[in-house]
Amino acid sequence: MKHFFLIANRQNESAKILMQETAELIRRDPSCTVKEDPGSGPDGHTDPADVPSDTEGVIVFGGDGTIIRAVRDLKPLALPLIGVNAGTLGYLAETDPGSVADMVARLKNDRFFIEERMMLRGQILKAGAESDAPAYEDTGLNDVVLSGADGTRVVSFSVYVDGEFLKSYVADGLILATPTGSTAYNLSAGGPIVMPSAEMLLLTPLNAHTFMSRTIVLPGDCTVTVELAGKSGTNALVHFDGAVYPDLYPGDRVCIRRADEHARLIRLNRDSFTEILRKKLEN
């Protein structure tokens, strides 16, 4: 790997400095090229058009949120990414600032492997629409989350798996998480931790009004349809890795399935997730 594109969390001064230092390190090798993200995309996002066509790998400086944003922004390019943690310990970052020189050397000498992570695709289907075409669709590396629009009222959802009714929930919301997202909002809501190489969906209710409210683990190849019940009396929000679709009304449905695309994360050590998890569990 000789041609790199660098992205940093622009609200994190140490991440920006680290990106510049890494770019200078890479440029010392005349066989390598590197370009830093110019930040021309809207709202701090990366514009895929800014990535040179010969780019072989992307290095991201920041926390998990920055890495997830980079995955989403550069999804059309299917480039492998590696994260350098520039904040608190994250699950997706592969290395830390003190190991950047070693990381660059290993990337240049192709001493790494690429781990593919399952992503989700969600489609919004509006009630009474004249066609079956989705009104909106997006992808998520961590999760797709449904919640009440005003944050104070519970909402009613009906959940179907491959067209078969599963369960109705009256809750603050629902999380549909990937194995990667199992350590994010899903974990905070009491859901299980899943090894990221697994292929499955985790359905976790948020503060459901029932004595039996547990995560349901579903096959990775199923389709989950969540309908906002008419008795909700309120509209709902759909979050794709935090990006919000605000206009879900009673009768509307969200169809969630495994995306055709995968996130491609560069790994230097095959036990990296285990190591990160062990450190997290010690805190």
Block means of pLDDT (10 residues each) for the chain, length 283 residues?
96 94 97 94 89 97 94 95 85 91 97 95 92 92 92 86 95 96 94 93 92 90 93 81 91 96 92 75 71
Beta strands (DSSP E) in 93-184 are: 113-125, 136-140, 143-148, 155-161, 164-171, 173-177
Identity (one letter) of the amino acid at 84? Answer: V
Phi/psi for 135 (5° steps) reads: -75, -25
**Rounded to whole angstroms, how far apart are CA atoms 144 and 139?**
8
So what's the pLDDT on residue 270?
A: 75
DSSP classification of residue 130 = S
Reduce the DSSP state of residue 76 to 3 states and report it: helix
So what's the pLDDT on residue 232?
A: 55
Of these residues, 37, 43, 64, 143, which one is catalytic?
Answer: 64
Sequence-ordered alpha helix ranges (H) in 151-192 = 185-188
Residues facing residue 82 across a β-bridge: 59
Sequence-ordered alpha helix ranges (H) in 109-159 = none
C-alpha 11: how far from its chain's center?
Answer: 20
C-alpha triplet 133, 134, 139: angle, nearest 5°? 140
Identity (one letter) of the amino acid at 61? Answer: F
Q: Model's pTM, two decimal places?
A: 0.91
Range(s) for CATH 3.40.50.10330 in the chain? Answer: 3-112+268-282
So what's the pLDDT on residue 203?
A: 97
Both structure tokens of 136: 């909106």
CA atoms within 13 A on the CB side of 23: 16
Range(s) for CATH 2.60.200.30 in the chain? Answer: 119-260
C-alpha 242: how far from its chain's center?
Answer: 9
Contact 260, 121 (CB under 8 A): yes
So what's the pLDDT on residue 112?
A: 95
Helix axes 100-108, 13-27, angle to 10 degrees: 40
Has domain 3-112+268-282 been given CATH number 3.40.50.300?
A: no
CATH superfamily of 119-260: Probable inorganic polyphosphate/atp-NAD kinase; domain 2 (2.60.200.30)
First to last CA, the chain: 36
Is position 110 annotated as part of the catalytic site? Answer: no
Reduce the DSSP state of residue 43 to 3 states and report it: helix
